[in-house]
Chain A
C-alpha cells in the first residue's frame, strides 16, 4: 500500500516525533528546538497524509508503484549542485557572507529540484506523464523564482547606478527609465506586432543596464557623505583622545540610513569656526541639550582644508577606586575636508553633576556646550 514517497514521509514523521519527545524530556520542553521538532513532525505528518491519500501521484496500485520504481531514471545533475552548495556554504562560513548566501541558494535550489525530480521520476511508470507532472509542479516554483532573481539583479544593478550618479542626476535618470519602461510596457500590450521588436529593446536595455551597473559598481559610490579620514599616528595635538583605538574603522557605518535619521545635531567646522545645527531648529546653536541615558548621534562635518576631529568632553571621573580624577570623553577620528563622521554619546549623569560638558575641536577656537538636564 505504501509507496516510496509516503514511506519516506511516514518515516520522517516518526523520526521527528521521537526526536521531539526526546528533546522535550532531555533538553528543554519550551525551547525553540522543541517547537521546531514538533513543527517538523506536524509538517511531515501532513505531507505523509497527502502523499498517502494521493498514492504518490495517482499510482493506482502497489504493483504499479513497484514497476514505477524499477524503471531506470535519467541521470540527474541536481545531487552535484546540492553537494556543491553544501561545500560552498561551508566555505562561506569561513570566508564571506556573500559566498555563504550563494551556497545556501545552491543548497536549497539543488535540494528542491533533486527532490522534485526524484518524486516525479517515480510518479508513474509512464515517463511522459512523469515529465508532465514534474513540469507542472516545478514550473510553479521555477518561473517565479527565476523572475525574482532576475528582478533582484536588475534592482541591484540599478541601485549601483543610482548610488554613483550625482544627487541631481539621479531623479532625472529615474524619471527617464521609468517613462521608458512604461512606454515599452504599453507598446507590448497594445501593439502585438511590436512584440518581437520589444524583445530586442528589452534585451538591449538589460545589456545597457548591466554594463552601467558594472561600471558604476567598480567606480564606487558618490563621495558626498563618505568618510575617508586618514589615520594619523598619535601626536601631542590629539592627546585628549590618546592613541587611536584601531587602525581601521567602519566607514560604511556613516552611510547607514538608521544613523542618518537619528542625528540629533550636526557640528560643523568652517573657516576655523565651530557651529551646531540641531534637527528641527532652523538657526545655528551654541548649545545642544540631550536627554540623560539616551544614545545620541552627533554628526561632525569638516569643511576646512585641515584635518580635524571632534572631541566630546564629558566631565571627570575617578580612576578605578582611587581618588585620582581623569577626564572622560570620546573623539571621532581625524576627518578630512568635506568629510563627515558620526559620534554617539550617551551620558548617564546630568551636566550639573559632572559637567560642564562640551564639544570641542582641537585647533579651533570656541565650543558647543552640551547640556544634560
Chain B
C-alpha cells in the first residue's frame, strides 16, 4: 500500500471514529427512560433555569460554531503554501471596536437574564415549608421541623426519598455530616452543595405528583455513584396522609410471632445504629440508638417507617419488586399518590434485595465497613457492616422490618 492511500485510510478511520462518538452522544440525548434529564423541567425553579437555558444555549452555540468555522476557514485558506509573507499591519480600530462592542452586548444580554434567574432562585421570602437535608456517606437524611400551617405537628425524620406537597415552595436547608455532597433533582432545580459546617438553601417546587430522581453530584468517596435520592411529590391531601403515617406511634409485634423474634434480633444487632422511634427493651425502657458511637458520620437511617419508602440505602435499591415498582413509577399523576402511599405491602416487598442487604450490605454497596480497617475513623464505620446474621435471623428481621409501616 502506498503512503497516500495509507494516509487516506487512517484519515477515514479518524472521521469514522469521530462520527461514531458524535452519533452516540446525539443518540444518548434521545434516551427514552432518562428520569434525570435536565431539559425536562417539572417545577417552577427548574422551569426558570430552562427558560434561561433556551436563550443562552442558542446564542452561545451560534457564537461557538461561528468562531470554529471561521478559524477552520482561515487555517485552510491561509495555510503555508510557500507564498510570501503578506504585508503586516497593526490594528484596525473599526474592527477592534466592533469586536469589543458586539461580545460586550451579547454578554450584557446574557448577564441580565442570568442574574435575574440567579436572584429568583435565591429567593426565600416566599417559602411555605422547610426541610432540613443532611448528606453523609452515602445517603441523604431529611427531617421536617414541626410546621403546623403545613399540618406537621411533630417533627418527621426519613431518608432517601424526600416527600413534598405539590405546588408548594419548599426550602431545603442543606448541610453535611462528613464530606461535601451535592443535592440535585434535575427536574426540580439545579444543584446545591451540602457542605459540613454550612447551611445552604435550595428551593424545590413540583407542579404535579410523581417521582423525580436525583443523584449526589459532588464526588464524595467510595459509593458516590450509589448515592441517589428521589423527590416524591404528592397532592396536598395525599401529603397530609403521608404526614399522618409518619407520625403514627410504634406498635410492637404480637408476642409469639416471627416479627416479635425479629424485634429482639433488631434490638441486639441493629439498634446501636438505627433508631426506631418508640421501640422499648424488655424492661419497658426506650431504646435510643448511638450512631454517634458507631458510624463515622454520626447517623444511620431512621427505620421507624422504613416500609413507607419504596427504595433504600441511598435510594439505590428497590424495596419493592419490579411489578410494584413499575406500578408506582408509571402511574398517571392523579393515581400516583394512592399508589405510593400504599407503601411496601407483603406482596410487593423485594425480598431478594432486602435479604441481600441484611446478609452482606457492603457486597451490595461498597462501604468502608471492614472492622479490621477502621483505625483512621477511630473504629467507626462508614456505611453498614456485614453483621454475619444467620439465615434464620434474617427471616426474623425481615418479618420485623415489614411491620415498620
Contacts and interface: CB of A to CB of B under 8 A. Distances in A.
Interface stretch (A114-122, A199-207, A276-284): A276-284
A350 B275 contact: yes
B201 interface: yes
B297 A373 contact: no
A321 B340 CA distance: 48
B125 A282 contact: yes
Given A287-B145, A371-B145, A292 B299 contact: yes
Interface in A264-290: 264, 278-282, 287, 289-290
A348 interface: yes
A177 interface: no
A352 interface: yes
B308 to A, nearest CB: 16
Given A292-B298, A373-B156, A352 B277 contact: yes
Contacts of A171: none
Contacts of B177: 291, 293-294
B145 A289 contact: yes
Nearest to A258: B197
Interface string A292-311: 11110100000000000000
A295 B292 CA distance: 12
B199 interface: yes
A261 B130 CA distance: 18
Q: How large is the interface on A (under 10, 10 to 19, 20 to 34, 35 or more residues)?
A: 20 to 34
A291 B175 contact: yes
Interface in A232-257: none
A140 interface: no
A356 to B, nearest CB: 12
A226 interface: no
B175 A294 contact: yes
B292 A373 contact: no
Interface string B154-181: 0111000000000000010101010000
Contacts, number: 79
Contacts of B127: 280-282
A258 B302 CA distance: 30
A220 to B, nearest CB: 28
A373 B157 contact: yes
Nearest to B299: A293
Nearest to B154: A373
Contacts of B173: 264, 279-280
B124 A348 contact: no
Given A291-B141, A294-B175, A350-B275, A373 B155 contact: yes
A262 B132 contact: no
A372 to B, nearest CB: 8
A287 B146 contact: yes
B291 interface: yes
Interface in A320-370: 348-350, 352-354
23 contacts: A258-B197, A258-B198, A263-B199, A264-B199, A279-B173, A279-B199, A280-B124, A281-B124, A281-B127, A281-B130, A282-B127, A289-B155, A291-B132, A292-B298, A292-B299, A294-B175, A349-B288, A350-B288, A353-B288, A371-B146, A371-B155, A373-B156, A373-B302
Nearest 9 pairs of A and B residues by beta carbon: A293-B298, A289-B145, A348-B292, A373-B155, A353-B288, A373-B157, A262-B198, A291-B134, A373-B143
Interface of A: 258, 261-264, 278-282, 287, 289-295, 297, 348-350, 352-354, 371, 373
Interface of B: 124-125, 127, 130, 132, 134, 141, 143-146, 155-157, 171, 173, 175, 177, 196-199, 201, 275, 277, 286, 288, 290-292, 297-299, 302
